[in-house]
Copies of this chain bind each other. A is one copy, B any other.
Amino acid sequence: LTNVFFCKCCAPFCSGSLQIQFANTEDKQEFSKFPTKAGRRSLSRSISQSSTDSYSSAASYTDSSDDETSPRDKAQVNTHGSSDFCVKNIKQAEFGRREIEIAEQDMSALISLRKRAQGEKPLAGAKIVGCTHITAQTAVLIETLVALGAQCRWTACNIYSTQNEVAAALAETGVPVFAWKGESEDDFWWCIDRCVNTEGWQANMILDDGGDLTHWVYKKYPSVFKKVRGIVEESVTGVHRLYQLSKAGKLCVPAMNVNDSVTKQKFDNLYCCRESILDGLKRTTDIMFGGKQVVVCGYGEVGKGCCTALKALGAIVCITEIDPICALQACMDGFRVVKLSEVIRQMDVVITCTGTVPHAVTFITSALIITVSSKHIRTSIKYASLRSPELTWERVRSQVDHIIWPDGKRVVLLAEGRLLNLSCSTVPTFVLSITATTQALALIELFNAPEGRYKQDVYLLPKKMDEYVASLHLPNFDAHLTELSDEQAKYMGLNKNGPFKPNYYR
């Protein structure tokens, strides 16, 4: 899921989520193309709507701004006299600060990292150029990196997802931020360039989300890599690109694949979807869960999370699966495993949680939600055909379309078939905290690693670090770990401080 939330570049995959179900030739061709800005933009729009609609009061505050001047054309100075930034409106800094403070309350792992590192400053000397979504949560990450000793320059990985007031708050504290909500494609690359190409400062670490920053440096400033000690990449797409570079022998620095760390995989999909499926459905449709008949397509981690929540709230849930192992789990967990065509007429809600493919853990995560208010829809739905001239589309609320058949039957489509939890609900800050902490630790590890520990390859975080990330989040729950005695540890052949599980453990 996190890859979803953060992943600008999964746009074609996301619309691809529909294609998986109803793939046709044109779609496939589109899919195989390198993600273009056009593709990106279509998702970006959805992210933008998400921010607007249901993100937080912050977003709507931002929206109320009617200033149409491009930030590139404004001269702005923060209260410290610096103008090395480009944001929508530096005056929103105070409001943004409050949003950051609220986020900090659920990201205490990063706060505790700050405290533990107060003396040593493990990132002293690090010059990090970063390209991520710019939200209150990433602001907590960035300010943690600064607290650990790093200098940072930052830009947005998505043209729509920037929370302007957060960008302003960062700029106000002296972080050179180049980002605003609603950038043009030209703005996008201009911002990246302003981060990388600045006089008297050269990055020695890269934190990327989607690979655009990395791509730009490769293309325009390859010499930068001479000083770079490593790349930390968070998104599925970005990781995919890095593996391709590595395969082609073109990766010239070590890279850390944060996306596939155990902590991220174990928590993001299952727990995040358990929380957001209900939220997304309520915010968009005010639907009552009790007694609703729901078919969930796919019983991977995403599907498991959705099913747990829906069943608990009184929905009657069944499953479709292609993989017999997941299907058997669904059976044991108390869900009927059916074919969509067998049950579609009885279902009130169809939720697709398909999208796993074999070569990566979860590189397409899709969640098409169709709320079938009529029970007479005949077959599984092909998105393209939903746009046929016989069908009338009526937008009844933001992210909610009624699709009306000639005979009057209505199907409610949420988020136009895009990801519900991206578009229509919020993602718990706590989950983002896990990823952000992992990113911070990956940066520390790469920056401080002795010569030779990492070569020009893509690495996973060592198990022990995964466990450390988890341990930093336990105080949120007032959880107390048990410590092995010396005897017990010796008997079991374990180090008392872990790692406790083998690397292949999931």
Contact = CB atoms under 8 A, between A and B. Distances in A.
25 contacts: A28-B490, A57-B397, A98-B394, A105-B410, A106-B288, A266-B329, A267-B329, A278-B278, A282-B283, A291-B477, A297-B482, A321-B481, A321-B482, A323-B500, A323-B501, A324-B470, A324-B471, A325-B501, A327-B474, A327-B481, A328-B473, A337-B480, A358-B502, A359-B502, A375-B478
Nearest to A31: B491
A506 interface: yes
B286 A271 contact: no
Nearest to A355: B492
A396 B57 contact: yes
Contacts of A479: 327-328, 330-331, 336-338
Interface stretch (A192-200, A218-226, A310-318): A310-318
Nearest to A311: B334
A319 to B, nearest CB: 9
- A-B complex: 7 closest residue pairs judged by Cβ atoms: A312-B312, A288-B428, A337-B479, A324-B470, A324-B471, A291-B331, A323-B500
Contacts of A481: 321-322, 324, 327, 337, 339
Interface stretch (A18-26, A67-75, A81-89, A242-250): A18-26
Given A290-B271, A313-B309, A482-B340, A323 B357 contact: no
B293 A478 contact: yes
A274 interface: yes
B493 A358 contact: yes
A332 B20 contact: no
A102 B396 contact: yes
Q: Quick one: copies of this chain in the complex?
A: 4
Given A20-B491, A337-B481, 19 more contacts: A28-B487, A57-B396, A263-B328, A266-B325, A274-B313, A279-B282, A282-B425, A312-B313, A322-B481, A324-B481, A325-B466, A328-B470, A331-B476, A336-B479, A337-B477, A358-B493, A358-B499, A361-B502, A375-B478
**Residue with the highest number of chain B CB atoms closer than 10 Å, among A262, A356, A429:** A356
Contacts of A314: 271, 274, 332-334
Interface in A46-62: 56-57
A24 B487 contact: yes
A66 interface: no
Interface string A261-274: 01100110001001
A42 interface: no
Nearest to A338: B480
Contacts of A468: 324
A358 B494 contact: yes
A342 interface: yes
A313 B278 CA distance: 10
A20 B488 contact: yes
A468 B323 CA distance: 10
A362 to B, nearest CB: 11
Given A335-B316, A484-B322, A328 B286 contact: no
Q: Which of A31, A290, A322, A474: most chain B Cβ within 10 A?
A: A290
A398 B61 CA distance: 12
Contact of A331 (B274, B331, B477, B501): B477
A313 B430 CA distance: 15
Nearest to A24: B487
Contacts of A291: 331-332, 334, 476-477
Contacts of A328: 263, 267, 470, 473-474, 477, 479
A267, A283, A477 — which one has the most chain B CB atoms within 10 A of its CB? Answer: A477
A325 B262 CA distance: 9
Residue of A323, A329, A426 most packed against chain B (CB within 10 A) = A323
Given A324-B470, A429-B288, A491-B23, A396 B98 contact: yes
